[in-house]
Chain A
Amino acid sequence: MLRRLFILTMIQLSSKMKLKITNKKRFIANLALRFLGLVIISVVMVLMLYFLNDVLYVPVNVYFVIFVLFITQLASIISCTTGLMVDLYESKDNSILLSFPAKHDEVFTSKLAVFYINEFLKNLSFLIPLLIAFGSISNLPFTYYLNIISMVFILPLLPVLLAAIISIPIMYIRQFLRVHNTLTMILLIIAGVFVFLGLSGLLDEIPTPIRIVALYNKFITSVTLFMQSSSKYASIYGVIGRLLYGINVLSNYGIVMGVIIVLLGLVVLISRPLFFRLASHTQEYAVTKKHCGRNKMSKSLFWTFFKKELTISMRSSNEMISNYVLLILFPFIVYVLNYIYIGIDRSTFGTKLVIAFDIMISLLLVTASNTASATAISVEGSEFVLLKTAPSDTKKMAWAKVAFNMIASTLIILLIFILFQLSLPQFSATDIWLMFVVVIFVNSGHILWSFQIDLLNPKLSDYAATASLSNNENVSKSIIIGLALSIIFGGATAFLLIENYVTGWIRIIALAVIFFVARFYLFTNFLKVYFREIEF
């Protein structure tokens, strides 16, 4: 059994990291370099903690250690949970691993072992140097470092075991929400409203006019108090922190071991039996909808493709949300920033700077949301070949996609600017709507540009093989262009408005319109020439 477990673990690890030692000297040199890296990280951590303790006056004590442990482990739990949800239940290697002459329990345990090793390596390169740095600046005794050695093995175990348990209900919730798109949207809106109310409550605490130095001091004090008081709620990590500092060592070790045994028991009793059931019952087999097919003649080819885009986005709202996730963040960032800007006693020059920064940040968020346009053709994958064989002007598909992205993006931005005006009535309404015009024209131009990138270099075969858009170079290019546009238009706005406020607005809007017209002209011509050249 142990041998089978070892083989299964090594098979999975070998796809994630290089395990074979081909050259001993190179291997030793690599190890030495890694050790040197750890020493350098530890020294950097010591300097960072000195800065916190002696410059910012944030006390680096046992509560701080507990806070850091809690936060880093919370991040580990989240990353392990999302990772395990994919690796345990949705991974493509399940079909191979489960067909091996091994028990399902062994496959399950090997998957957890792979995650444990990953966590172990992550902790070794971050958390352990940090704990060594704590010991060094607090002059802690030798026993502290001995306790770190046991924590090297205990700390990675906790997030993996917790994630193995948590991932089950989350998996069920995710599967449920995947088939209930309307409910997902409603929950998202409710969450958004709560976040907005929370932010409003926090911002109301800031006295106006805002004095940045006083606000900075208040912020540092609040962060310090939050760090220092959060150790009360850190549960098992509070126990580990006290243990490291030599407080009730034996009883605290007992509590840690007890928790690990309980978690192991829960994993064995709950997660292990459910693993095979969930792993063999994937989403594609869970579809229960029965569509009544009806052939209907469409009068317009453009309208047919447009309706197809609409249907796809309605059916896969999760994908649409991930495409426009930055637009969801947009109103929150704009609201917080402008609340602070308005709170500062500004000069006329300051007001012009506010508009320039607003345009820059708005464009940064808006253009980074045009990834759907930068992959519009690529996501057709192998179906694109079939589409091109249709006896019709299939170029209209491109126009339908562009039109859909522009309408969706413009409607969301319009909604955000309406919220902007309603939530910050002190801000000049004229400035808000002039900014809207600039953002809309630049964004529409950027959508055309992003589409053109995909038109010239579609990744049809990549998408057909992997069904994934991660590390797609067209997306990166689109985001980089968006970043450049944000800086150019933000800088131009500052320059033109400072020179002359009235003509400045006219010139900046004219620039945005010219940019849009130029991109439209180029896109039309590129589409005419290159669309028929696209091959799988």
Chain B
Amino acid sequence: MNKKIIVLLVLILSALSIMAISVWGSLPESNNLPSVVSIKITDFDLQNADGDKIKSIKDQVSEEDYIYKIPFTVTPINADSKIKVSTNQPGITARVDEMESIVYVIFDLTKIGTTVTVTIWDKNTQIKDEVTLMFLPPDQIIIDDPNIF
């Protein structure tokens, strides 16, 4: 037994204590929170006739800067939400920060240049919004081409 083991024990005990207090020692959360009414991705360049959103990320994602941020809004602000996010391409992963209302899209080095559709949805109500990220300048994107999506 030495001091390093004690530090490890303290860290484990600290994590356990937080879990114990939040499970047995916290007040029940309010059940009166409203449901999600809408999820909206606000940062996009083009929108086609079907309402599909397209964003050009040609100059924003590169080998040095491979994480792209998508801000979104959830209404009402205090909604009882469980936000999830997915992409339609393997090698391109997305993570959501519900507190900051931002989705981070991480491009694998071999996937930079690949078009990807990112879907954000609420697990409780299944309300969703999506955006397609493309590596083309906005003026070269044909918005009603069905092959894009």
Contacts and interface: CB of A to CB of B under 8 A. Distances in A.
Interface of A: 57, 59, 61-63, 207, 210-212, 214, 217-218, 220-222, 224-225, 228-229, 232, 242, 245, 247, 325-326, 329, 333, 336-337, 340-341, 344-347, 349-354, 357, 360-361, 364-365, 368, 371, 475-476, 479-480, 482-483
Given A212-B18, A225-B67, A357-B17, A217 B98 contact: yes
A57 B84 CA distance: 12
Given A61-B106, A479-B3, 17 more contacts: A59-B106, A63-B106, A211-B29, A218-B97, A225-B67, A228-B67, A247-B109, A337-B17, A345-B27, A345-B29, A346-B25, A353-B17, A354-B25, A357-B13, A364-B9, A364-B13, A482-B6
B21 A325 contact: no
Nearest to A494: B20
Interface of B: 1-3, 5-7, 9-10, 13-14, 17-22, 24-27, 29, 64, 66-67, 91, 93, 95-99, 104, 106, 108-110
A479 B13 contact: no
Contacts of A220: 95
B99 A214 contact: yes
A221 B105 CA distance: 11
A350 B18 contact: no
Nearest to B14: A337
Contacts of B96: 217, 221
Given A62-B109, A221-B97, A333-B10, A357 B21 contact: yes
Contact of A347 (B18, B25, B104): B25
A337 B1 contact: no
A380 to B, nearest CB: 22
Nearest to A245: B109
A212 B22 contact: yes
B20 A353 contact: yes
B7 A329 contact: yes
A61 to B, nearest CB: 5
Contacts of A360: 13
Contact of A350 (B24, B29, B110): B24
Nearest to A229: B67
Contacts of A61: 91, 93, 106, 108
A217 B81 CA distance: 13
20 contacts: A59-B93, A62-B108, A210-B22, A212-B18, A212-B19, A214-B99, A218-B98, A337-B18, A347-B26, A349-B25, A350-B21, A350-B25, A352-B25, A353-B20, A361-B14, A364-B6, A365-B6, A368-B6, A479-B1, A479-B3
A371 B64 contact: no
Contacts of B109: 62, 242, 245, 247
Contacts of A224: 95, 104, 106
A329 B96 CA distance: 33
A346 B10 contact: no
B53 to A, nearest CB: 23
A347 B27 contact: yes
A232 B27 contact: no
B89 to A, nearest CB: 12
A204 B25 CA distance: 23
Contacts of B110: 247
A345 B26 contact: yes
Nearest to B96: A221
Contacts of A480: 1
Contacts of A214: 98-99
List of 6 A-B pairs having minimum Cβ-Cβ separation, nearest first:
A350-B25, A357-B17, A212-B22, A59-B93, A368-B6, A345-B27
B2 A476 contact: yes
Contacts of A245: 109
